[in-house]
Amino acid sequence: MAQDLNAHDENSLPPESGWRFGRLGLWIGPILFALQIYVSPLPLQPGGNEVVAVALWMLIWWISEAVPLPVTALLPIVIFSLTGVMSLDEALTPYSSKIVYLFFGGFLLALGLETHNLHKRIALLIISAVGVSPPRMILGFMLSTAILSMWISNTATAVMMLPMALSCLQLIYQDQPASDLPNRDAKHFSTALVLGIAFSASIGGMGTVIGTPPNLVMRGYN
């Protein structure tokens, strides 16, 4: 009983190491910013050192999570306008880019699909249509993953499809004798199914502009 209480107390303790790391990062970010500008500036064009310094500051705060991530993302608005790199209007312009609103629309679409479980319905419909033989199951999971990944983030699609695939594998092999598990065919089928989901999530994400953030970033430079 005493051991259980001790274990409970240990588990309920706050993550001191993470808190200390965040507090340390809170100071390291501004220090690196000041060092970059005033102590060891690089031979860059006017405003270049300020941009590098802000990038270092944001990098430290993002890694350490010293402040909420959205707060870190707003640093350029304040720092660039205060240091004279650009005016406040110029600093705010990238935050109202059409690419940002396209991101927002894609997130709303994905949220709507997940809220109403439409993504699961689509996946189950495709899987049930292709059949239950191993090649057809792999094809069904890959098609479902690729189609959903066009509209939902690659990671979210893979996280959704993998439990479904593992459940199917468990149902397939649960009635087999223990001596048959694991056999070579079962291992190959399981590996092919999991890898197929992983690759399909990445491939499907390249099918639309909102499928994955790098597509939108590249679209913004065209």
Give pLDDT tens digits for 80-111: 988 888 888 888 888 887 777 877 777 787 77
Q: How far is CA 86 from CA 26, 56, 64, in A?
A: 25, 18, 28
Q: What is the dihedral of CA 140, 143, 148, 154, to 10 degrees?
A: 110
pTM for the predicted model, two decimal places: 0.57
**pLDDT at residue 46, rounded to an integer:** 82
What's the pLDDT tens digit per position in 129-149? 887 788 888 998 999 899 988
For 47, the token pair is 């405003």
Q: How far is CA 142 from CA 193, 204, 210, in A?
A: 8, 9, 19
Q: Which residue has the tokens 């109403």?
A: 116
Q: Quick check: helix, strand or coil at residue 184?
A: helix
Higher pLDDT, 163 or 1: 163
What's the pLDDT tens digit per position in 179-192? 454 566 777 888 89
**pLDDT at residue 207, rounded to an integer:** 87
Beta-carbon contacts of 79 under 8 Å, excluding residues fewer than 6 positions away, are 33, 50, 54, 57, 85
Model confidence at 1, pLDDT cuts 50, 70, 90, reads: very low
Give the domain ranges of the chain: 2-94, 100-220
- Residues 164 and 128: their CA atoms lie apart, in Å, by 13
**pLDDT at residue 132, rounded to an integer:** 72
